[in-house]
Amino acid sequence: MANQDDTFKKVISHAKEYGYVFQSSEIYDGLSAVYDYAQNGAELKKNIRDYWWRAMVQMNENIVGIDAAIFMHPTTWKASGHVDAFNDPLIDNKDSKKRYRADVLIEDYCAKIEAKIEKEVKKAAKRFGDAFNKEEFLSTNGRVLGYQEKIKTILSRMAKSLEQEDLADVKALIEELEIADPLTGSKNWTDVKQFNLMFGTKLGASAESAMDLYLRPETAQGIFVNFLNVQKTSRLKIPFGIAQTGKAFRNEIVARQFIFRMREFEQMEMQFFIKPGTQGEWYEHWKAHRMKWHLSLGMGKENYRFHDHEKLAHYADAAADIEFKFPFGFKELEGIHSRTDFDLSQHEKHSGKKLQYFDPEENKSYVPYVLETSIGLDRMFLAVFSNALQEEALENGTTRTVLKLPSVLAPVKAAILPLVKKDGLPEVARKIVEELKWDFNIIYDEKDAVGRRYRRQDANGTPFCITVDHDTLKDNTVTIRHRDTMKQERVNIDDLRAIIKKEVDVRNWLMKMA
């Protein structure tokens, strides 16, 4: 089995080779942690965004979508807490001069202990065979319990120190655990310092009158400041949600994992406004509902897990991540946060405007509580793309590279291939393209032998190849080849639209959430 680094390298090079993701400004040697989506990547990203929007906005009559500006009044970020508290604790290694997030170093240390637990589980599963009960083993095995206790102690100490801004203790913890620079092994650390992640910029022409602005570090605040405008104009009653997708910017300290952690990225967020006191049930509801959305894409239940936060953000009373098994292990893909009335109350305070809802059932006004679901579009892209990329051993002893994207998300739905470039076959193939392009993203390819064209489309993630041959001229049938099974069928040209639609239609995929 290829190791994690190799798998991840393959993902990155495949994304480049097949026109999914390019390094930004590559001809100038690139810009660190900034990426461009290429011809296929832009389509895949759009399809993921649409899939989310359809599930969130179109399928819920009490959720509406907005598109707020990236620039916001600077007081927004004072109110939200980002000016004072949107910091990462960073630490430098004096020998390697590399900079790390102190909390990530500690979390990675715990992940290694977690890996030891996994090892014990595997060993025991082998030893006990069919009689093995994982739950029981995890709750009774002495060694495993010891590891779990250690993780808990470390993480809760870190959470407490960060909460109390006791950065000296965070450093002390790193030293006590003897955490070394992962690249060089050096344990020669500086003190831990806070670093604000917002990008600053200026609005206005002259230096004197210019106003300091920030590029938004999250899309959520554009929703909060519009809460009352949307509520009044839509006349929605609580509970209701406002959804938004858009760019966010963070000056990330450690940005090394391709599109997992970028400085410019896109979020898909939904803020659900609820009656105070009901946050517990809505928290559970949205956790379950968002997991269903993920599972509807068929990327394997075993690749997801929930992770409840030990360290709560300043605004939250409960928070969990949906983690996905990326090529470098389980990491956060989406966050579900119970944000209380923190944001709206803060904006009331800083703006002097009331942001309250009059509840006709209760006959009183209150500041609603908020339940948030927040997912990174680029992270979702990486999850989908890395999960889809497979090397498959074939019966004839060769291997093929195939990108098994959920077909609802695939950039190109079908490739139309004339078997040869003569005898009128290209003309028929072109006619099929002209017919199908009204409904689907289709491409025409006549270059190289048909076998090579199949492989090219496999690697590109195209669910169907449709081949026009000499029989087509006689009986109006074509061969349709399925990417995942490589099975080929003979079908009538007039049936193509229905066959493709059945496979790629959003409806058929989203129905799996029901």
Residues between 201 and 230 that touch ligand ATP (CB under 6 A): 218
Tell me how far, at minimum, the Cβ of 418 lies from ligand ATP, in Å.
42
Please count the other Cβ atoms lying within 10 Å of the Cβ belonging to residue 7. Answer: 16
Among 245, 300, 226, 181, smallest CA distance to 52 is for 245
Phi/psi of residue 171, nearest 5 degrees: -65, -45
Q: Which is nearer to ligand ATP, 269 or 458 (CB)?
A: 269
DSSP state letters, 346-406: HHHHHH-----EEETTTTEEEPPEEEEEEEEHHHHHHHHHHHHEEEEE-TTS-EEEEE---
Phi/psi of residue 46, nearest 5 degrees: -60, -40
Return the range that interacts with ligand ATP (CB under 6 A); candidates 9-17, 285-293, 331-339, 501-509: 331-339
Return the range that interacts with ligand ATP (CB under 6 A); candidates 55-63, 121-129, 159-167, 333-341: 333-341
Q: Which is nearer to ligand ATP, 147 or 282 (CB)?
A: 282
Could you give the CA distance from residue 92 to residue 268 in angstroms, rounded to a whole number?
Answer: 33
Q: Which is nearer to ligand ATP, 267 or 340 (CB)?
A: 267
Q: Which two tokens stand for residue 325?
A: 């098994």
Among 216, 198, 221, smallest CA distance to 370 is for 221
Residues between 356 and 385 that touch ligand ATP (CB under 6 A): 374-376, 378-379
* Whether 388 contacts 303, CB under 8 Å: no
Helices (H) and strands (E) in the chain, counts: 18, 23
Tell me how far, at minimum, the Cβ of 145 lies from ligand ATP, in Å.
28
Which whole-number Å values give the CA distances from 232 to 64, 228, 251, 355, 360, in the listed order? Answer: 13, 6, 36, 11, 14
315 binds ligand ATP (CB under 6 A): no
Tell me how far, at minimum, the Cβ of 355 lies from ligand ATP, in Å.
22
The count of chain residues that interact with ligand ATP, using the rule CB under 6 A, is: 16
Q: Which residue is nearest to ligand ATP (CB)?
A: 376
76 binds ligand ATP (CB under 6 A): no
339 binds ligand ATP (CB under 6 A): no
35 binds ligand ATP (CB under 6 A): no
Instruction: Check residue 207 and report its DSSP letter.
Output: T
* Whether 394 contacts 451, CB under 8 Å: no
Tell me how far, at minimum, the Cβ of 248 lies from ligand ATP, in Å.
7
Q: Which is nearer to ligand ATP, 299 or 429 (CB)?
A: 299
Q: Which is nearer to ligand ATP, 321 or 469 (CB)?
A: 321
Residues between 254 and 313 that touch ligand ATP (CB under 6 A): 261-262, 265, 267
Return the range that interacts with ligand ATP (CB under 6 A); candidates 18-26, 223-231, 330-338, 459-467: 330-338
By CB under 6 A, name the binding residues for ligand ATP.
218, 250, 252, 261-262, 265, 267, 332-335, 374-376, 378-379
